[in-house]
Amino acid sequence: MSSPSITFYDIAQRPPVEKTCCSPNPWKTRLALNFKGLPYSTTWVPLPDIQKVRTSLQVRPCRKFADGTEFFTLPIIHDPATDSLIGDSFDIAVHLQKTYPNSGAGDLFPPQTLDYVFKNDYLLVPLSECRDSEYPEYAKFNLNVDAAFSAHVQLTVQGFPFDPATAETSKAEFVRRAGGMVARWEDFGLAGEARAKMMDSFRDMLGDLGKLFERDTSGPFLLGTRASYADMIVGAWLRNMCVTLPENEWEQVRNWHGGLFGRLYDALEVYAEVK
């Protein structure tokens, strides 16, 4: 008899959800699950239902909004093998490594130096605190990469694939979170010179991050031909950008810095199946 498989909770965007899913933290989990080759199924949760689902699973929130109130997020996984419910993408990756050390493509956390530090000018969203971790180098990298991409998230606003069924509720919620900074969702959008300036900043940020990828030129990954969770952290954000940026801008991103990020995106395709 085969054992029951893992349940992975991800955010449902516009149907078909398999093509539009673009939440970076759930993507980190999907890439890690596929890397480990573990059987799982995805439960798709509409954005306005995350609080309800997380509360009903009794998984405590791991983020807070700027005003100190709780922020209910995904991913969550339920792993029946250990009877665990885990509600943070980094904790999920650690759980998968500890519980299934030799599964699939092997070690998610091979030792490496990940000394990337993001200098934070534009950041809008408060990030989870960096907690004590078994893989502190990876935890710090996760935090810095999240900060670096989050600082440019305004580029993704116009292309965000809201599900028409819940779009108005979700847009109103994002406006509420901005605490009076904008009156309507559309006001978050960037065009013209302001957009070009943020694209420049995005390119420069990727240039800085890209220096880590240039240390080993034998392959698309930080460790050359060997993928690790650090590549997935960046790859998850690239998935978000691929879905939400206008096509011509995504093409630019793929080609900046000698095509490094396009190659990374393509190389992670083997772990990107949506199940």
C-beta of 190: minimal distance to ligand GSH in Å? 19
C-beta of 47: minimal distance to ligand GSH in Å? 6
Helices (H) and strands (E) in the chain, counts: 9, 6
Kind plus residue range of the DSSP H or E element containing 79: strand 76-79
Q: Which two tokens stand for residue 214?
A: 């240039």
Does residue 21 belong to the site contacting ligand GSH (CB under 6 A)?
Answer: no
Does residue 156 belong to the site contacting ligand GSH (CB under 6 A)?
Answer: no
The residue from 20, 25, 34, 228 that contacts ligand GSH (CB under 6 A) is 25
Does residue 128 belong to the site contacting ligand GSH (CB under 6 A)?
Answer: yes
Backbone angles phi, psi at 75, to 5 degrees: -80, 160
The residue from 14, 17, 61, 63 that contacts ligand GSH (CB under 6 A) is 63
Print the binding letters for residues 76-115 with ligand GSH: x by CB under 6 A, - otherwise.
Answer: ------------xxx-------------------------
The rounded distance, in Å, linking the Cα atoms of 20 and 22 is 6
Does residue 13 belong to the site contacting ligand GSH (CB under 6 A)?
Answer: no
The residue from 21, 38, 59, 74 that contacts ligand GSH (CB under 6 A) is 74
Does residue 235 belong to the site contacting ligand GSH (CB under 6 A)?
Answer: no
Q: Give the other-Cβ count within 10 Å of 124's Cβ.
A: 13
Contacts of 52 (CB under 8 A, 6+ apart): none
Q: Which is nearer to ligand GSH, 52 or 215 (CB)?
A: 52
Contacts of 125 (CB under 8 A, 6+ apart): 150, 153
Distances (CA, A) of 124 to 106, 121, 149, 152, 251: 36, 9, 11, 9, 25
Q: Which residue is nearest to ligand GSH (CB)?
A: 73
Does residue 73 belong to the site contacting ligand GSH (CB under 6 A)?
Answer: yes
The footprint of ligand GSH (CB under 6 A) covers 11, 23-25, 47, 50, 62-63, 73-75, 88-90, 128
